[in-house]
Amino acid sequence: MKLEYTGSEQVPLGKPDVWSFINDPQKVASCLPDVQQVTVHDDKNFDAVVSIGLGPVRGKFKFKITLEPQAGGDRMNVRINGGGFGSVVDLLAGADLIDNGDSTTTLDWDGSATMRGPIATVGGRVLDAQAQKLISGTFANVKTRMAGA
């Protein structure tokens, strides 16, 4: 099962501040919805345990997450691999940073997820909604956390 998403968030900070925030694994990890535990390994890699609810089934997914800043400071990619419930998730999300010229930055984001295993087989719309929540919720949380900074 392959899922794709796009969206946009306007952040009330200049591009250098946004770039600094999204290059900090601890700050990025704090933006994951329903995060239970984070282990930062270095300046680009961390693990996260996230609570997932798929209909009446609740559990935890464990993810290995890698920040992949692109040269020039205009795009950040985030690679997420892991799973739970006997299923595997491979997710690539990214955001283009656009300086709006008024001390705000737009994050034009996209994400695609591939899921394999029992959850992908039976999850259908519920799984699609959960993946959408994870991706869009993370970027919305980035905006909220930076606005409060």
Encode pLDDT of 32-59 as tens digits: 888 999 999 999 999 999 887 766 667 8
Tell me if 23 sits within 8 A of 40, measured CB to CB: no
- For the cut 70, the answer to whether the pLDDT of residue 127 exceeds it is no
pLDDT in tens, 78-96: 999 998 878 888 989 999 9
Question: Do residues 95 and 22 touch, judged by C-beta distance below 8 A?
Answer: yes
Residue ranges and CATH numbers for the domains of the chain are: 2-147 (3.30.530.20)
Of the candidates 51, 28, 26, 12, the one whose C-alpha atom is nearest the C-alpha of residue 138 is 28
Query: Alpha-carbon distance 133 to 143, whole Å?
Result: 15
* Residue 70 DSSP class: P
Among 9-13, 38-42, 109-113, the range with the most confident prediction by mean pLDDT is 38-42
